[in-house]
Structure formats: structure tokens, C-alpha cells
Amino acid sequence: MLIVLLVALFGPCFTVQNPYNLSAISLSDAYKPPFWVEGGELPFVLGTDQQGRDILSAIVYGSRVSLVIGFLGVIFAGGIGVALGLIAGYFGGKTDALIMRLADVQLSFPTMLIALLLMSFFEQGVSNILIALAVVGWVRYARTVRGEVLVVKKKEYVEATKVIGLPNRQTLVKHVLPNVLTSIIVLSTIQIGNFILTEATLSFLGLGVPITRPSLGMLCSNGFKVLYSGLWWVSIFPGLYIMLIVFGINLLGDFLRDEFNPRLK
Amino acid sequence: MLLEVRNLKTFFHTFRGTVRAVDDVSFTIAKGEILGIVGESGCGKSVTGFSIMGLIEEPGKVAGGEILFDGRRLLDLSDNQMNEIRGKEISMIFQDPMTSLNPVYTIGEQIEEMLTLHSSLSPRERRKRCVELLRSVGIPNPEGRLNDYPHHFSGGMRQRVIIAIALAAEPKLIVADEPTTALDVTIQAQILKLMKALVRERNCSMMLITHDLAVVSEMADRIIVMYCGQIVEEGRARDVIENPSHPYTQGLIGSIPKLNEDKSRLETIHGIVPNMFELPEGCNFSPRCRFCREICFGVKPDFRLANTEGHLIRCHSACGVSEGGNEV
Amino acid sequence: MSLLEVTDLVQSFDLTRGFLAKLRFRGGRLVREERVVHAVNGVSFRVERGKVLSLVGESGCGKSTTAKTIIRLIDPKSGRIFYDGIDITRFSPLEMRPFRKKMQMIFQDPFASLNPRQKVVDILQEPMIFHKLATPTEVREKALSLLNRVGLRTEQADRYPHQFSGGQRQRIGIARALAVEPEFIVADEPVSALDVSIQAQILNLLMDLKDEFRFSCLFIAHDLSVVKHISDDVGVMYLGKIVEKGSKKDVFAHPAHPYTKALFASVPSISAGKMMSSKGIEGEIPSAIDLPNGCVFHDRCPSRKPVCHEEPPVEREVEVGHFVACHNV
């Protein structure tokens, strides 16, 4: 995971070309295979695509877009979802009913459908993708958090804060939230992966990020068009990299969960 | 002797080290006898019960010793042979009446299951026997209640049903693990009386595991007091209660608030039960003991006779034993 | 004047929230049916200054609900709660805040009553800081001395609750309640989850602290022998009602209500088979959803009369300050 982050942050310093800079690309380099395959040549380690872009460089730049979308998506969706979940679970009653019915309605549509719908309204762009992800992603947070809050709020230590006289807001932030944090973290690591995949799917379908800033999904999509012509490397390497990222994030999640648990220290 | 346990050792191997949950425990239960095993949480009393039943699960393991039941070595039996004995010859009553019945079967089905497994009665006889059993444990209108599910019963009634199931195959030994801890006092009194009457009537034996000294003193013929996986005192019920010889037993009895006594302060045992990973080098009780001497910190005491016959304690100091105690 | 006075407190919980849940098929017809648990049905008592009143009863008798209602964790259905002469029955959380400094609670389950993600010292500091009872510089010191007072070492202050045993946690819970130096403490079965030897330590500690901090206490328990030990006055509860109340001496010496007598007879004692030979009582506590008519105890009562089925008994004073609700007395 650390490697993935480092690559995303510092990778651009080492790549042979900037895939956004059209002047650096030469069409004569198009469709070069990886260097270990016949016909391949350095410095294009993983080959090039139809416009002569170096795949490795594209992956490095693409992963930055993907990661930003994944993390920001989780922060937005998580922020909304956790807040609503806390409120719904803690106060109960009509507020709870309202929020949870809203969530139910949204859950009855496939995630992809909603995302597609939203993206077809908006223009392509990173910020719009984030809005779409937040809209589809908050429900899982809200439901998970609400369930946990229902358990935690019956604990005597929460009653104790009421006996002390703490206002609800303080009880929620200081006593309830830390005790549901574990499941939020676990969920978040799954969600980052999910969001990167969702974004990849959207881009793959042509509704994601603009073509000028290719994300990993976009790269896959580009390569897909020529996959059957034997030019496998254009699509496969970005795909593998998505897999690596998602795997790494899940490992990170396990680590964080243990780290945040005072019982294991 | 119906049951003879010799030097039983049950250890739990965990990441943090080995817990000697039951460490060198020996005792016997005669036919028709009620043996009470008392101790506080974590003293190994339940693990002893589970070891006899052959129900120790990973990471626990019976590491040594012998369990002789009716002449058979239980530890040498295979799982299948053990299944024959469990339920039929030794049955168990668990602590929580709310979870030890299966909620998706009627109580009639659950008693019948026991009878089908361990007897050769015809279906009609089985039905009759179920009704008899329920009646004997004091459930009103037993015919009508056979087809009820556990959630139709209150805690006390469920415990009666569990006792009925335990008695179904006419076992020779009943292991009761905290059978009344989850119940209210008035119900506890009912259940205890019922259990004692049934045991006496059927002449079976009982091993009563509990944390409540008062309960064992009302029920048991003999009492074993456990502390940190070892027996610290053993003897006839009256001897142990009226003449407690081990400082731990004395402390336990002193810390029970008594209805018929007026005292402003309770006697206490200071400190807390030691961590099972870091037991003291000498006597396990030494850090909390009032009579502790030098030898207690260094040498584990032997199990030896106190004043009266059949009354044993594991202590260097008690009853004016000469300085130095028994060297190991 | 009594420190706390409660009159005719009623508390009930509706099991069927929402209209649809109330609909039920009965005999082929759809009927509207309410299922309400009547947890507390008209309870009145007083806690005198500096005294300990114990409410004792079996599970489901409403003693814990009474405690939680008095400390205003749940709103009462009806009845009045006076604290120091002030009617706090309908106070909002904001209005209650000054009283939170005066009334505190000790909880039953030491494993659930401490926030697992808070250090012990923070648990103790929080109430002091919130009520501005200590300046930021001295608050830690105060917390540490409190920790010391309840028998824990100061170097344990920066540990998390899971590193303590049940008894030690209960000490922390007591220290938290004492952090605001309250005048009144509700102790909801503070020792019932503990081993006997630890239970004795905690009871002794509570009694010492009571003398030192001079608080009054409402003590909830199911164990008569514990009650005998700690209280000045006793109330015996059954199915949401106080059936007998009076000074500890009177109630223990001459229990008058048949239920109180049965409770005494059912307690196992280590001094030789009293319980086994006593009669005890038959049957179990009826459901609090459909309360029995007349006296709540009539179907288990060994000395019931026809009137017991029809009329609920009124409280009568059998000795000075000793009240019993029974037709037979």
C-alpha cells in the first residue's frame, strides 16, 4: 500500500513522459509492446498505447486520479453517512424513520444505475464523480453506523454521560463516535476500493473523468478497444494495478483497525 | 466410588502463554452424594466440570491425570464412546436457562430426543415418560405444555425443563454448573429444593458447581473450595463451613454478608485474584493471605489433613502446623 | 425535609410502537391491542439526608426502572420527584444540569459502564471539567487523588478500562460518581456482578466513602443480605409496587408482608439448612404486561383472602414508620 502511495506521489518525477503533455507524445511510438516482448524497447517498460503514450507513465498518473477519487469519495460519503447514521441511531423516533426510509429507497436502486443517471446529468469531471459517489455511498455508512449506535447507546457508559449532564452533541462525539469508529474504518477501506472500481466502471463506460486526465478505469477502457487485436498490455496493466491498490487498501484497513483498538495495545 | 478424579490437569494454550486452568485436582464422588465445588470466577471449577464431560475445546487440553467413572477411564474413550456416556450416564445442567434450550423445538421434542438416543422406549412410552418427567420437576399441566416452545416458559420453568432433560436417561451423575445463578432468590429456593429432592429420590450423584457458598452449604454433603486451578480445601460440608481451615475459605465466608448478624464492616480478602499467566511462585494465595509467612512465598504447599478426618487443606500455616510446613 | 421525595411514580413502556404494530389478529378479527409493560405502578418513598434507602426485589419488580427515572434518564409517565424540595419531574436536560452536580449514579455492570476508549484519568476528569469544578491545572491531581481514595494506584491512571478487573472497574465507576462531589447517589446493583470477596471490598468501600463524602444514597439490590449491610431504610418491591417499607431494623426484625417473609425464607444461608426446610413461595412473578387485579401478590400469597383478588391493598402503618400494603395486616 505504501508503495502505491509513494508511486502516486512521487512517480511523476521518474516517468519518461507526461501523458497529459501532447508534445511529449509521438505517434510513431504507438502500440509498442512491453520491453521483454519482441518488438518492445526501453524506455517504454510496459509498452505504449494507440497514441504512443507510455503505459507505465499513464498508470502512475492515472493512479493519482483514482486514489484521489477513492479517498475523497470516502471522506464525502463517509462524512454524510456517519453524521446521518449517528443522528438516526442516537435520537431515534421520527428523525430515524425519515433518514432510514430515504436510505431504503436509495438502496432499492442499483448503485451503478444511480451513478450512471447522475453522471449523465452532470458534465464529466472529478468533482462531479465525487458528488455521484457521495450520493450513492452514504447509505452504507448510515446503516452501519446506525446499527452500531443502537448498541452503544444502551451501554451504561453512555447513560453515565447523561447523568453527568453532558449535552447530546458532546456525548455523540466523545463517547459514541469513538466506539463505532472501528466499523467505520473497516467499511471505509472496503469503500475506497469500491469507489475506485465504481469510478473505473464509469470511466470505462465513458461517463467518468474527462479523456484528458485518464484514470485507471479510463486506461482499461482505452485498451479494451484493441484488446482483441493482441495488444493486451494496454488494458491488462492498468487492470492489474487497480487490483493491487484495492488489495493494499484492504490490508491497510486491517492494520488501522488493530491500531485503533485500545484492547490490543 | 462412582467418580474418581486423579491429578487432573487441564491447560489452555494461548498466545500469551499457558493457563493452568485446572492444575492437579483430585477428588471422588460416592454414589448418592452431592459434592459442591465452590470458588470465584476463573478458579477452574467450571473447567473441571467440562473436563469430566469431555467437553474441553481448543485451545484447552486435558494435559494429564485420570478420570475414572464407574470403573471406566473416561480420558481413554473415543468421542463416540464418550457420546454414549454423556447424557445417558452423566448429564449436565448449565447456567443460563435462556440459552441452553433450542428455541426452534418444542420442549416435548427436546426431552424425547434424549429418550430416543439413550433408551429403547416406543414412541408412546416416550410420550408418557416425558409427561412423567415434567410432572416430577413440578411443571403444572405437563400434557398441555409438551408442545410449547421454550420462549413460552419463564426462566425458572425453563430450568425445570432442563432438569427434566438431564434426568431423562436416568443418569448416575449430574454435573450442575451454576444451575441457579441466573435465577431470582425465590425461584432459586424452589429449584434447589427440587434438585436435592430428585437426587435423593433417585439415588444419583451430583456435582454442584457454584460461586455461592451459601448454596452449597444448603445442598452439598461434601465441599471442595478451589482457588487458581487448585483445590485449597476439601471436607464434609459442615466441617468446611463451621471450621474453615484455609485462610481463603475463611476469607470467603467472612465476606458473605449475613442476614442474622449485625456487623458494620465485612471481613474481606484484600487484593485481587492473580493473573493466571503470572501465578505466584509459592502458594497461589500468598499475596492475599493474612497468615502468610516466608515459606509461603517460596514453596507450594502440599495437600494435607486438617483437624478432622476427611478434611484436607493446601496451606503451610493453618491449624498451628509446625514451622516449616511440609517441604516439597 | 427529605433530600429526595418521590410520590406516586408511574413508569411504563409501550412495546408496540406505531399504529401497525398494535394491530393483531384475535379470533379471526383484526383488533387494536396495546401491549404496555407496567414497570412501576405508583411508588412513593423518601430518602432522608445522610441515609441509605435500599429498594430490594427480584428481577422485573421495577427497582432499576425506578432508579433510572429518579435520576431522569427516562421521563416518568406520572408522579412527582422532589429533590431538596424542588420538583424536578419535568425538568429539561438543560434545567437538570445544575442537579447533575448533586445527583450521581453508580452502575451495575462494570464491564459496560466505562467507555473502553477513554483512559481512566479522562473518565474521572470529564465530569469535573464539564461542571467546572477544577481548574485545568489541578484537575489531573484531583482525579489521581480520587483514584487513590477508591483504592487504585495513581500509576494506573493512564490505562484503559479493559486492563482492570471487574472489582477495579467498579471502583473507577464509584470514583467517577464521586468526581462532582454529589450529595445524592443512586447505586443500581453496584455489587451484583462481582465475586463475593470483591463484593465485600466494594461494600466496605462504599460505606467508608459515605461517611467521608456525606452523601445520601438510593441503593438498588436483589440481595437481602447486602441490603441488610448497607442501608438505614428498606423498601421491598414487587411488580412495580412497594409492598413494605420502613427502617431496616423494623423490616428485618418483623417482616410483615407475606412476600417479604417469603424473600427472607428463600435466601440460602451458610448457617445450616434454613432455606431447605422453610416453605418459600410457589409460582413465579406474573407478567408486568397484564397486571393481576387486586393485590399484585395474590396468586402466590400463602394467606390470600377473597378480598385480595378484588381490591388493591392500601398502605398501613404497622409500627411507627413501618408501612405494609397487605389486606391481612
Amino acid at site B323: E
Mean pLDDT of chain C: 89
The predicted structure's pLDDT at residue C6: 94
pLDDT-derived band at A36 (thresholds 50, 70, 90) equals low
Residue of higher predicted confidence among B185 and A43: B185
Residues B189, C270: C-beta atoms closer than 8 Å: no
Q: What is the mean pLDDT of residues A46-51?
A: 66
Residue of higher predicted confidence among A60 and A83: A83
Amino acid at site C44: S
Residue of higher predicted confidence among C107 and B309: C107
Q: Which chains touch A (3 or more CB pairs under 8 A)?
A: C
pLDDT-derived band at B327 (thresholds 50, 70, 90) equals very low
pLDDT-derived band at A12 (thresholds 50, 70, 90) equals low
- Domain-located, residue A46: no
C-beta separation of C218 from C4 below 8 A: yes
- The whole-angstrom distance between residue C75's C-alpha and the CA centroid of its chain comes to 16
Asked which of A122-136, B192-206, C177-191, C302-316 is least confident by mean pLDDT, the reply is A122-136
3-state secondary structure C10-25: EEEEECCCCHHHHEEE
- Domain-located, residue A11: no
- The CATH number given to whatever domain includes residue A119 is 1.10.3720.10
Cell of B112: 424425547
Nearest to B18, CA basis, from B84, B63, B56, B50: B63
C-alpha A152/C-alpha A129 separation (Å) is 34
Task: Give the 3-state secondary structure of residue B261.
Answer: coil
pLDDT-derived band at B326 (thresholds 50, 70, 90) equals very low
Cell of C225: 443480605
Say whether the ipTM exceeds 0.95: no
Task: Please name every residue paired with C325 in a beta bridge, in sequence order, or none if there are none.
Answer: C315
- Domain-located, residue A152: yes
For an interface test with C, the pick among B141, B160, B218 (most C C-beta atoms closer than 10 Å) comes out as B218
Quick check: bond before A110 cis, omega within 30? no
Task: Answer yes or no: is pLDDT of A99 > 80.
Answer: yes
Cell of B78: 473415543
Residues B269, C270: C-beta atoms closer than 8 Å: no
Phi and psi of A184, rounded to 5°? -65, -40
C-beta separation of C69 from C247 below 8 A: no
C-alpha B275/C-alpha B219 separation (Å) is 31
C-alpha B108/C-alpha B126 separation (Å) is 10
- The owner of cell 470466577 is B41
- Chain B's closest residue to C274, CA to CA, is B218
Rg (CA), chain A: 22
Nearest Cβ partner of C112 from A155, A164, A168? A155
Residue of higher predicted confidence among B76 and A246: B76
Mean pLDDT of chain A: 78
**DSSP state for residue A48 in the 8-state scheme:** B
CATH number given to C4-102+180-325: 3.40.50.300
β-pairing, B90-93 vs B34-38, is unpaired
C-alpha B88/C-alpha B123 separation (Å) is 18
Task: Answer yes or no: is pLDDT of C186 > 70.
Answer: yes
Q: Is B186 exposed, middle or buried (0-12, 13-18, 19+ CB in 10 A)?
A: buried
Task: Please name every residue paired with B60 in a beta bridge, in sequence order, or none if there are none.
Answer: B12
The predicted structure's pLDDT at residue A105: 87
Nearest to B16, CA basis, from C117, A258, A264, C116: A264
Residues C200, B260: C-beta atoms closer than 8 Å: no
The four Cα atoms B318, B322, B323, B327 give a dihedral, to 10 degrees, of -90
pLDDT tens column, B188-232: 998 999 999 999 998 999 999 999 998 999 999 999 999 999 999
- Chain B contact for C196 (CB, 8 A cutoff): yes
Task: Give the 3-state secondary structure of residue C70.
Answer: helix
**DSSP state for residue B271 in the 8-state scheme:** S
The predicted structure's pLDDT at residue B324: 38
- Domain-located, residue B49: yes
Task: Please name every residue paired with B206 in a beta bridge, in sequence order, or none if there are none.
Answer: B34, B174
Output the CA–CA distances (angstroms, integers) from residue C121 to C25, C144, C158, C160, C166, in the order listed: 55, 7, 6, 9, 17
Task: Answer yes or no: is pLDDT of A72 > 70.
Answer: yes
Residues A163, C100: C-beta atoms closer than 8 Å: yes
Q: What is the mean pLDDT of residues C247-272?
A: 88
Interface of A with C (CB under 8 A): 155-157, 159-168, 170, 174-175, 178-179, 181, 262-263, 265
Q: What is the mean pLDDT of residues B290-313?
A: 84
The nearest CA of chain A is from the CA of C313 a distance in Å of: 35
- Domain-located, residue B301: no
The four Cα atoms A60, A62, A68, A69 give a dihedral, to 10 degrees, of -150
The predicted structure's pLDDT at residue C11: 92
Nearest Cβ partner of A156 from C96, C107, C127? C107
- The CATH number given to whatever domain includes residue B7 is 3.40.50.300
Q: What is the mean pLDDT of residues B79-97?
A: 87
C-alpha A230/C-alpha A33 separation (Å) is 10
pLDDT-derived band at B325 (thresholds 50, 70, 90) equals very low
pLDDT tens column, B229-277: 999 999 999 889 988 989 999 999 888 888 777 667 788 888 888 888 8
C-alpha B87/C-alpha B53 separation (Å) is 10
How many contacts, defined by CB atoms under 8 Å, are there between B and C? Answer: 127
C-alpha B222/C-alpha B90 separation (Å) is 19
C-alpha C225/C-alpha B262 separation (Å) is 11
Nearest to A45, CA basis, from A251, A233, A187, A245: A233
Residue of higher predicted confidence among A220 and B138: B138
For an interface test with B, the pick among C52, C163, C197 (most B C-beta atoms closer than 10 Å) comes out as C197
Question: How does A108-145 read in b/e, with b if 16+ C-beta sit within 10 Å?
Answer: eeebeeebbebbeeeebebebbbebbbbbbbbbbbbbb
The predicted structure's pLDDT at residue B320: 44
Nearest Cβ partner of A157 from C93, C113, C130? C113
Nearest to C266, CA basis, from C240, C236, C232: C236
- Domain-located, residue B218: yes
- Give the structural domain span for A82: 63-264
**DSSP state for residue B297 in the 8-state scheme:** H
- Domain-located, residue A163: yes
The predicted structure's pLDDT at residue C28: 67
- Domain-located, residue A34: no
Domain count, chain B: 1
Task: Answer yes or no: is pLDDT of B50 > 70.
Answer: yes
Cell of B132: 412423567
Nearest Cβ partner of A162 from C73, C114, C176? C73
- Domain-located, residue B42: yes
Domain count, chain A: 1
Q: What is the mean pLDDT of residues B294-314?
A: 84
Chains C and B touch (3+ CB pairs under 8 A): yes
CA atoms lying within 13 Å on the CB side of residue B185: 25
The four Cα atoms A20, A26, A31, A35 give a dihedral, to 10 degrees, of -90
The predicted structure's pLDDT at residue C204: 92
Task: Answer yes or no: is pLDDT of C296 > 60.
Answer: yes
Output the CA–CA distances (angstroms, integers) from residue C108 to C47, C174, C214, in the order listed: 20, 11, 22
Output the CA–CA distances (angstroms, integers) from residue A8 to A34, A58, B10, C19, in the order listed: 21, 11, 54, 56
Cell of A37: 516482448
- In chain C, what are the domain boundaries? 4-102+180-325
Stated pTM of the model: 0.84
- Domain-located, residue B127: no
C-beta separation of A81 from A138 below 8 A: yes
Cell of B11: 491447560
The predicted structure's pLDDT at residue A17: 56
Task: Answer yes or no: is pLDDT of C289 > 50.
Answer: yes
pLDDT-derived band at A83 (thresholds 50, 70, 90) equals very high
- Domain-located, residue A110: yes
Q: What is the mean pLDDT of residues A140-163?
A: 91
- Domain-located, residue B215: yes
Asked which of A168-182, A227-241, C289-303 is least confident by mean pLDDT, the reply is A227-241
- Chain C's closest residue to B139, CA to CA, is C283
The percent of residues in chain B predicted with pLDDT above 90, rounded, is: 33
Asked which of B61-70, B204-213, C275-284 is least confident by mean pLDDT, the reply is C275-284
- Give the structural domain span for B189: 3-89+169-245
- Domain-located, residue B146: no
Cell of C163: 486492563
pLDDT-derived band at B138 (thresholds 50, 70, 90) equals confident
Q: Is C49 exposed, middle or buried (0-12, 13-18, 19+ CB in 10 A)?
A: middle
